[in-house]
């Protein structure tokens, strides 16, 4: 029976882990899920996969995926429709329904908890079940759920997270943290009541919960005391350290790794100097917050998601017991929230290159590679454009107001403007549109309810129901 609560619990035999302790206190509210777990735990794998790579594209709905494919081809002077993405080559494809316990449309926190912990939960909370309530610390206690990263570590595997967001963001944080709010990045972001009740911020849990071998992303300012100058932007007040408790978590992480070969880096030069063959631990934080968008990235300062994925795999694969790696293309989602379709598509193309690099560095007969999105975004692709027409261009049709419109549109978000009762005339715009047309009263776009793709590659036959095209719920 297919698990109703997430794709990744199907990977139980990969980790040879029995979840009796976890099962006991949440069985009643997740009975169908745990019945599926017990059934799946009896399956015998065709091959035992040592390595598990989960590549996670936040906000990459099917429209984003299709538009990115066209953009890839058009950047290569092709029409675009016939282009093949790395993701198109995966042999097993399925769909996942996305909703949370309390809302029809889920966010990255609820979906990450479903995917990575196997338990559906409420909006805005991570690593806890639905008995917890958003922003209420005391409801977090006793309702914690563990992630597949923790299961892998307990099984003796090396583990890592790579993201283009801050490492304290909802998706990567769910691998190691339990929090009644996804926004408790540092103690400065928590209410005093939560701190008095004993809840810990996400950055603190990054260092003090699961022993993670590779941590790559952004989020320096949540790790250092308030007023600490950022090494890259020392004159920028908003890049300074935020912590009120005086903890320098970067230094504390280094102290915890005494006797190991551990590196902390914040720029590409130092990152490139890290030898994966001799490195036990790596923490690389390239920005105070989220990483720069791919279109704005300075390649001399910040490595690409392809480079960070490669470094992580080369460090982790030395473990003869295998590894678990989460790679998140998190800025796809954030570009959509800002109504920046071009940026979202370029982020998707970079993510696809990271998938290709992962496949290149791993062996198909011992690696399970799963690619998925957590939720969609309200991007539409319309207007009957001709074959080969720029995906970032205008429709050949005109609207009823006798003005042209963009092929890509958002159902909501910040881009819509009315000046003197009319839309802007875009006929003379030669550049790609920063904000495709959108009709909304919101300053940021809101996530879309839509099924998302789940694809897998590898000879370990663990996801039979997904392979058959059935639908999971996350």
What positions carry a catalytic annotation?
A: 108
CA pair distance 351, 327, nearest whole angstrom: 9
CA pair distance 270, 267, nearest whole angstrom: 6
Q: Tell me if 333 is assigned to a ligand binding site.
A: yes
Q: Which two tokens stand for residue 260?
A: 């190991």
* Cβ–Cβ < 8 Å for 105, 375: yes
* Cβ–Cβ < 8 Å for 334, 381: no
Q: Tell me if 352 is assigned to a ligand binding site.
A: no
Spatial CB neighbours of 279, under 8 Å, sequence gap ≥ 6: 261, 262, 263, 315
Q: Tell me if 169 is assigned to a ligand binding site.
A: yes
* Cβ–Cβ < 8 Å for 171, 374: yes
Q: Tell me if 290 is assigned to a ligand binding site.
A: no
Helices within 402-472 (DSSP H only): 464-467
CA pair distance 359, 345, nearest whole angstrom: 21
CA pair distance 315, 276, nearest whole angstrom: 5
Q: Tell me if 346 is assigned to a ligand binding site.
A: no
Q: Tell me if 374 is assigned to a ligand binding site.
A: yes
Q: Which residue has the tokens 């308030």?
A: 226
CA pair distance 177, 179, nearest whole angstrom: 6
Q: Tell me if 102 is assigned to a ligand binding site.
A: no
Burial of 420 (0-12, 13-18, 19+ CB in 10 A): exposed
* Cβ–Cβ < 8 Å for 415, 421: no
* Cβ–Cβ < 8 Å for 12, 41: yes
Measured CA to CA in angstroms, residue 281 lies from 264, 284, 312, 313 at distances of 9, 10, 10, 12
- CA 110 from centroid of its chain's CA atoms: 12
Q: What SS3 class is residue 278?
A: coil
Measured CA to CA in angstroms, residue 437 lies from 72, 332, 399 at distances of 22, 18, 12
Partners of 54 in the β-ladder:
326, 370
Q: Which two tokens stand for residue 245?
A: 């408790």
217's torsion region: left (phi>0), alpha (psi -120 to 50) or beta? left
CA pair distance 79, 110, nearest whole angstrom: 38
Could you tell me which residues are annotated as the binding site for Zn(2+)?
A: 333, 337, 374-375
Could you tell me which residues are annotated as the binding site for Mg(2+)?
A: 169, 171, 328
Could you tell me which residues are annotated as the binding site?
A: 169, 171, 328, 333, 337, 374-375
């Amino acid at each position: 029976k297919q698990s109703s609560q997430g794709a990744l619990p199907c990977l139980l035999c990969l980790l040879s882990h029995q979840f009796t302790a976890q099962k006991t206190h949440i069985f009643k509210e997740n009975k169908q899920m745990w019945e599926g777990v017990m059934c799946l735990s009896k399956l015998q794998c065709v091959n035992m996969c040592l390595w598990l790579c989960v590549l996670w594209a936040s906000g990459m709905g099917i429209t984003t995926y299709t538009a990115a494919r066209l953009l890839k081809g058009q950047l290569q002077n092709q029409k675009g429709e016939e282009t093949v993405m790395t993701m198109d080559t995966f042999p097993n494809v399925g769909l996942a329904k996305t909703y949370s316990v309390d809302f029809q449309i889920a966010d990255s926190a609820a979906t990450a908890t479903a995917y990575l912990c196997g338990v559906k939960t409420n909006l805005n909370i991570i690593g806890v079940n639905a008995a917890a309530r958003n922003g209420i610390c005391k409801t977090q206690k006793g309702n914690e759920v563990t992630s597949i990263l923790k299961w892998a570590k307990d099984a003796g595997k090396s583990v890592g997270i790579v993201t283009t967001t801050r490492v304290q963001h909802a998706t990567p944080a769910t691998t190691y943290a339990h929090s009644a709010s996804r926004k408790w990045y540092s103690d400065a972001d928590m209410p005093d009541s939560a701190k008095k009740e004993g809840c810990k911020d996400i950055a603190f849990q990054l260092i003090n919960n699961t022993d993670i071998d590779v941590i790559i992303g952004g989020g320096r300012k949540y790790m250092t005391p308030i007023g600490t100058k950022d090494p890259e932007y020392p004159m920028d007040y908003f890049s300074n350290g935020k912590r009120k408790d005086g903890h320098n978590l970067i230094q504390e992480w280094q102290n915890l790794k005494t006797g190991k070969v551990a590196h902390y880096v914040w720029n590409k030069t130092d990152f490139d100097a890290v030898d994966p063959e001799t490195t036990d631990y790596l923490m690389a934080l390239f920005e105070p917050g989220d990483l720069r968008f791919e279109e704005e990235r300075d390649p001399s300062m910040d490595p690409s998601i392809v480079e960070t994925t490669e470094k992580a795999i080369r460090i982790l694969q030395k473990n003869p017991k295998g590894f678990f790696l989460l790679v998140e293309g998190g800025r796809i989602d954030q570009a959509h929230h800002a109504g920046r379709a071009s940026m979202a598509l370029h982020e998707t193309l970079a993510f696809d290159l990271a998938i290709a690099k992962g496949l290149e560095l791993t062996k198909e007969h011992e690696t399970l590679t799963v690619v998925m999105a957590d939720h969609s975004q309200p991007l539409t692709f319309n207007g009957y454009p001709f074959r080969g027409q720029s995906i970032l261009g205008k429709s050949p049709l005109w609207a009823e107001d006798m003005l042209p419109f963009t092929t890509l549109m958002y159902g909501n978000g910040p881009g819509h403007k009315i000046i003197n009762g009319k839309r802007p005339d875009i006929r003379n715009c030669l550049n790609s549109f920063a904000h495709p047309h959108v009709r909304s009263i919101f300053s940021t776009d809101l996530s879309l309810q839509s099924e998302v793709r789940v694809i897998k590659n590898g000879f370990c036959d663990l996801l039979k129901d997904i392979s058959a095209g059935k639908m999971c719920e996350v």
